[in-house]
Amino acid sequence: SEIILQQTRVAQGLPYYYAFVEAYPTVKDLALAPEEEVLRLWQGLGYYSRARNLHACAKNIWFDMGGVFPKTYDDLLKLKGVGSYTASAIASFAYGEVKAVVDGNVFRVLARYFGIETDIASSKAKKEFETLANQIIPEDQPGEFNQAMMDFGARLCTPKNPNCEFCPLKTSCFALTHSMVSDLPVKINKVKIRERHFHYYVITCGEKWVWKKRTSGDIWEGLHDFPQSESMADQQDKVLEIPLKKSKQLKPFPKNYRHILSHQRLNAVFSKVEIEEDNLADLENWCATEGFLLVEEKQIEYLAKPKLIVNFLNDQGI
């Protein structure tokens, strides 16, 4: 649940949590599962490195640690994909260790209540806020404290229009008493959003579709989408010269798609390339050369795919 809730709201993550604990009720079940299956179950939740890290953690615990889950903050930090926030959450919730959880909600509550004007995007902010949170966390109820701080920030001390009138801390809140609620927390460094344009080529030959599996280091590593060019939306990729010679024509799909990631906005158009079935052997050779996959249409649902591709397929009734 803590891995799922990284960068994800509870309402969005809850169905995935139930699906995961049903599919993998034990660490062993998850450790022995194929990565493709894990990614397929994660499909649509985004930040797919979390799924790969979760899978790697299960394999590490099962194969290298004798199936014994780490029980301390320091040992939890050694797991792949587990940082100070997740380690603190697990250690305090599951084992009662006195470790404060500091997420965006806690940053906001602490900044407003104590009047901290440190830029929360700066390198020193994390240590400063973690130190403060660990100074005020009670030793007898660390888990409940952490849950309360996060819930307080999510429900009452919200980023916009916080409910200060009904806040039980309003008489001692620095930001409220100094009319600085809208000024805190301070976040100077805005993340630059990169605008990208994809032209996807949906290449089919009878009931077979051409797919591309994203490689290591890619934001969609391990997921499947179509051959593409990244340039102006109407530019044809030279890599398609061979299949296009064997095709009827390039047929654009009428709808354009837009998908927003944390640091990127993806604008996508799709075009269909139909290959005559007599040219299947040539297409198979081309796919082998270019590193693409030929997949039967009835098997497409079992591929792990980005949400952008899922949305396109849904529109096509696939």
User: Mean of the pLDDT values across residues 295-305?
Assistant: 94
What pLDDT sits at residue 123? Answer: 85
| Nearest-10 crossing angle of helices 35-42, 10-23 | 150
pLDDT above 70 coverage of the chain, percent: 94
Which two three-digit tokens encode residue 119?
């830029």
Angle at 25 between CA 21 and CA 30, to 5 degrees: 90
HSE-up of 123 (CA within 13 Å, CB side)?
Answer: 0
Residue whose pair of structure tokens reads 């693409």 in the numeric block: 292
Residue 68: what residue type?
V
What pLDDT sits at residue 315? Answer: 93
Query: At 237, is the pLDDT very low, low, confident or very high (cuts 50, 70, 90)?
Result: low
| Structural domains of the chain, ranges and CATH numbers in brackets | 10-183 (1.10.340.30), 194-315 (3.90.79.10)
What pLDDT sits at residue 136? Answer: 97
For the entire predicted model, the pTM comes to 0.77
Q: How many CB atoms lie within 10 A of CB 178?
A: 12
Quick one: DSSP state of residue 41? H
Taking 70 as the threshold, does the pLDDT of residue 278 lie above it?
yes
pLDDT above 90 coverage of the chain, percent: 75
**Per-residue pLDDT tens over the stretch 137-164:** 999 999 999 999 999 999 999 999 999 9
The verdict on whether 2 is a catalytic residue reads yes
What pLDDT sits at residue 233? Answer: 41
Taking 80 as the threshold, does the pLDDT of residue 247 lie above it?
no
**Per-residue pLDDT tens over the stretch 215-228:** 877 778 899 999 98
What pLDDT sits at residue 28? Answer: 97
Taking 90 as the threshold, does the pLDDT of residue 243 lie above it?
no
Taking 70 as the threshold, does the pLDDT of residue 298 lie above it?
yes
User: Mean of the pLDDT values across residues 94-99?
Assistant: 96
Beta strands (DSSP E) in the chain are 194-205, 208-213, 224-225, 228-230, 247-252, 257-260, 264-275, 293-296
Residue 25: what residue type?
P
Q: What is the DSSP string of 86-122?
A: HHHHHHHHHH--------HHHHHHHHHHHT--S-TTS
Q: How many residues does the chain have?
A: 318
